[in-house]
Structure formats: structure tokens, C-alpha cells
Amino acid sequence: MNKILIIDDEEANVRVLSTSLTLDGYEVFGAESGEEGLKRFQAEAPEIVLTDIKMPGMDGLEVLRRIKKMAPEVEVIIITGHGDIDSAIDALQHGASDFINKPVRDKALAIALKRAKDKLAIRRQLKAYTDDLENMVQIATGEVKRKSNFQTKLIKSSHDAIVATDDNWKIVIFNPEAERIFACSRLEVIRRMDVRDLLPADILAKLKAQDTSQAKTGRLPWQETLMKNNAGESVPVRFSGKILYEKGQMMGSVAFFQDLSEIKHLQHELVQSERLAAVGQTVAGLAHCIKNIMHGFKGGSYIIELGLDKNDTTKLKTGWQMVKRNIGRTSDLVLDLLSYSKERSPEYQCCLPNAIAQEVCESLQGVAAENDISVNTVLDSSIGEVAMDGKTVYRVLLNLLSNAIDACLFDESAGKIRQVVLTTKRGKNHRICFEVSDNGSGMDDDVKAKLFTSFFSTKGSAGTGLGLLVTRKLIEEHKGTISVASELGKGTTFKVHLPYTIVA
């Protein structure tokens, strides 16, 4: 029965995986942190470790490094999430046997565990073979034939390509996996070909460099390269090797090759999935911006309808101006999509922050009025014309006020008069504070902790989870800050501080 250690900072994941793998016949141990995982590893000595790559404190990569340092033969499977391509590749380079994506699916987990068990079995077999190979010439009894047959079977069944030579570099062992990787038959090379005519120059140079005093102390560490086989195909491989000595004299060499084509293919698929995720994030962000602009259109159309019903020319003009402004912002959104893909520097221009705040409120009055929500402003009259990025101010306030209105909509408290207030204040050190408060549903500490993370939304399927993330990005690009205070059932207040320069 294989022992498996599961390390994940989410207790539910440890419990579900433990139950599933126990039913599959494994002896399973769990840990909810990297530090605890290392203690369980030392106590239980499992053969396979499943670890999440992102954990507070000691992450999965550090766990991998320490386990490989303590027990290089243990197979470590990394559990990754979207956005972890670099960490997943780094884990493979540090000796991870495989990686699987969250959420963990039974089929992917079963395949990864089968590969790990196969590698454990082959590693044990190859260790026995390598150790025995140096002692073969000392055995002169019938045991030689028995062990030779056993080793031959091991070599033939190995998932690694094995190429061994005598003391003149003539190939004497060339197993089926070597035939596949090098695209030539065993009969063509055994005792007929010099390994120096078969191996790529870079691999040969590293193997021959083992013929030194340094080489006599250990095996060449595993290294990756891209080689061309006999059929002219490029094959990504991981290789290692050793010069074999007897009484200080070279008696032969052995080299091991692992075909990385499948792993590279998985890496490519992971990159593709990351690209798709990036496209999805862009689309979601675009949808969020369009939703905010549509609020402006609805506000304008609402005022136009009022003007038509009451034959009020002033309201008609006001509503039409709001519609025109949002048509312009739709055009601006298309142009600004290019800027979202790279860092953006704020464009300081003369503007009236109070006027921008008033404009945002007016654009949302229609939506708010339809849902019996009052939107009010408390504007600091000492704030006049200043130089700052007006577009950033508008987008930030539009997003925060839209969210505040949604928070009021989600509040199911009976008899409450729901309201949103936008306040401006002149701060110290040439900064203006924009404060957006609501008396809506509010948030608990757990929700507040996740508020600025990708794809997290308090609105469920109605939100994209990108609005506040984009808002914070715009604020930080403007060298500003954002903070939030909230109490469940009582409401939320966002405070944004943005710097400005005085207009000459």
C-alpha cells in the first residue's frame, strides 16, 4: 500500500482528497500548512506527496525543495491554479514528477499518481541496476546469468532510455525506449556504434567531462536539452549519466534519457489555458465597464422620458447631454482597451473634481430612483480647479457608486431608507479625498479580505469580480490609495485619496 501525504491550506481539499484516495486503497496523511506537512513527512515517510503550490507561510515550491533535499526519491505532485505557469515549470525543474490543475479531477489525479508510482518502481529498479552494474565483473558464478537476465528485463521495461558502453565507448546496452527516442534499432548500434557518433555534442561533452576526479564522486545531475534523433526529429529530453570505474580505471559508461515531449505538451497546454484566462479577464473587464456606461445611458433616458412626459425642455436637454456624454465614453472605452494591456501613466489636466463627482451622481440618478435609492453629494466648496487625471476620477467614482447602489439593492432589511452619499474633502499634501458611503448590506471580515482579488465578487453571478481590481489599479497608477470600512448589515464606506497639482 502506497503512503500519500496531502498538503493544502484548505482543510476541505485535504478532507475530500483523503477520503477519495483512502477508498482507492492508499494510506493517506493530511497537513494544512507547509510546516506541518514537513513534520508529517518526516514522521510517516510517504512515497508520494501532493502539495498545493500557493499556501501562506511555506509555499509548495519550498516544500518541494526541502522534501527533495531530504529524500530525492520521493515523488512530489504539484497542485496549481490558473496564473501559476511559471511556478509550475519551476516546480518541474526542481524535481516535481507532475502537476495537476485546480479543481482536481479524479481522472487527472489518477493519471498523475500512476506516473508517480511508475517512476518510483523504475527508480528502484534503475538504482538496483546501476549499483549492480559496477559489480558485475566481480561475479564469476551462475549468479551472473540470473542477475544478468533480471537486469535485462528491468532495462527493457524501463520508461527511461538507457545507453551503456564498454571502456572503448562501444554501445553494449540499448533498450527499447532508447530505440524509440533515438529512432534507430538495437541491432544497428549494439557493439557496432561508438556512442560518440550517436549522442549530441553537448550531451557527449558533459558525459565525457565525468572522466575526471570530480566525476568519480557521483552521477551527472539531470539536465534538459533538445536533441535531433536519427530520423531528424527534435526531441526534448532530460538526461543524466555516469562514467563507471573499476580500481580507478574506466570500465564503461551509462546514460539515461527521459522523453519530455508529453511534459512540454502539457506546459504548452497550460500556457494556452493562461492565454484563454487572460482573454476571459479582458472580456469580463470590458463587460463591467460597459455595464457602468449603460447605467449612464439609463440615467439619461430616464430624464428624457421625464421631460417627454412633462413636456419639460430643460429635462430633455439635460437627459440628452447625459446620453451624449456616455456615447463619448463608449468611444473612449474602445480606445482605452489598448491601455489596459500595459501600465498607464496618469494624464494630469485641468479639471473640477466636484463637477466630476456631480456628473457621476447624475448619471446614476435614474437607476437609483427606479429602485427607491437616494444618491446625494456633500462637496467641499474649497476644492476648485486642479490638475489631475479626470478620466481616472470619473471611472473610479462611477465604479464605486455603482457598487454602492448594488449593495443597497442586495440589502433586504425592511423599512430602511436606502441611500448613497458621495463626499469630497480637500486633504493634506495636495490630495483630495473622495468618500463613497452606503447603508446597504455591508460585508464581514472574510469578504473584505478577498475584496481586491481577481474574480471575487460579492454579487455572485451578477458580478465579474474585476471591478474593484481595475479600480485599485487605476488609483495606484495615479499614486493614490483606497481603503474600505464595512459592517455587515449596516453599510460600507470607500475612501480614495488622489494627489493633484495646483493650476498655475
pLDDT-wise least confident of 150-164, 174-188, 392-406: 150-164
User: The C-alpha cell of 330 is what?
Assistant: 463608449
Helix, strand or coil, per DSSP, at residue 485: strand
Confidence band, pLDDT 50/70/90 cuts, at residue 85:
confident
CA angle 104, 106, 109 (to 5 degrees): 70
Q: What is the pLDDT of residue 437?
A: 95
Cell numbers 550531451 label which residue? 203
Measured distance CA(309)–CA(281) in Å, rounded:
42
**Cβ atoms within 10 Å of 443's Cβ, excluding its own:** 21
pLDDT for the residue numbered 452: 67
Q: Assess contact for 351 and 390: CB atoms under 8 A.
A: yes
The pLDDT, as a whole number, for residue 93 is 83
The CATH fold assigned to 134-259 is Beta-Lactamase (3.30.450)
In Å, how far are 133, 134, 252 from 137, measured between CA atoms?
A: 8, 7, 12
Query: Beta strand 75-80 with 48-52: parallel, antiparallel or unpaired?
Result: parallel
Strands 491-499 and 481-487: antiparallel
Enumerate the H helices of 341-444 as residue ranges. 353-370, 390-410
The single residue listed with the C-alpha cell 439609463 is 298
| pLDDT score for 50 | 92
Q: Which of 226, 220, 210, 127 is nearest to 169 (CA)?
A: 210
What percent of the chain is helix, strand and coil (3-state, nearest 5)?
50, 25, 25
Decide which of 363 and 325 is more confident: 363
**What residues contact residue 460 under an 8 Å CB cut-off, 6+ apart?**
none
Q: What contacts 248, CB < 8 A, 6 or more positions away? A: none
Is domain 3-120 annotated with CATH 3.10.20.30?
no
What is the percent of the chain with per-residue pLDDT over 70, rounded to a whole number?
84
**Least confident piece of the model among 16-30, 314-328, 399-413, 479-493:** 314-328
Across 415-433, average pLDDT: 92
| Mean pLDDT score, 122-139 | 69
pTM over 0.85: no
**Domain residue limits, the chain:** 3-120, 134-259, 269-502
Count CB atoms within 10 A of the CB of residue 87: 18
pLDDT reported for residue 482: 92
- Dihedrals phi, psi of 94, to nearest 5 degrees: -95, 10
Q: Which residues of 113-144 are buried (b: 16+ CB within 10 A; e: fewer)?
A: bebbeebbebeebbeebbeebeeeeeeeeeee
pLDDT over threshold 50, residue 433: yes
Predicted confidence (pLDDT) at residue 297 exceeds the cutoff of 90: no
User: What does the buried/exposed string (b/e) look like for 178-202 if buried means 16 or more CB atoms within 10 Å of the residue's CB?
Assistant: bbebbebeeeebeeebebeebbeee
CATH number listed for the domain at residues 269-502: 3.30.565.10
Mean pLDDT, residues 419-443 = 93
87 pLDDT band (50/70/90 cuts)? confident
pLDDT at 100 (0 to 100): 86
CB-count burial class (<10 Å; 0-12, 13-18, 19+) for 404 = buried
- For 181, residues 6+ apart whose C-beta sits below 8 A from its C-beta are 161, 229, 235, 237, 257, 259
User: Does residue 321 carry a pLDDT above 50?
Assistant: yes
pLDDT at position 49 is: 92
Neighbour count for residue 479 (Cβ, 10 Å) = 11
Alpha helices in 45-164 (DSSP H): 60-70, 85-93, 106-133, 143-157
Identity of the highest mean pLDDT range in 84-93, 100-109, 267-276, 433-442: 433-442
Q: What is the chain's mean pLDDT, rounded?
A: 82
Mean pLDDT, range 120-136, rounded to an integer: 73
The residue behind cell 516544500 is: 63
Q: State the residue for C-alpha cell 551472473.
A: 144
Question: pLDDT class for 360, splitting at 50, 70, 90?
Answer: very high
Task: State yes or no: pLDDT of 144 exceeds 70.
Answer: no
Tell me the average pLDDT across 412-423: 87
Preceding peptide of 221 cis, ω within 30°: no
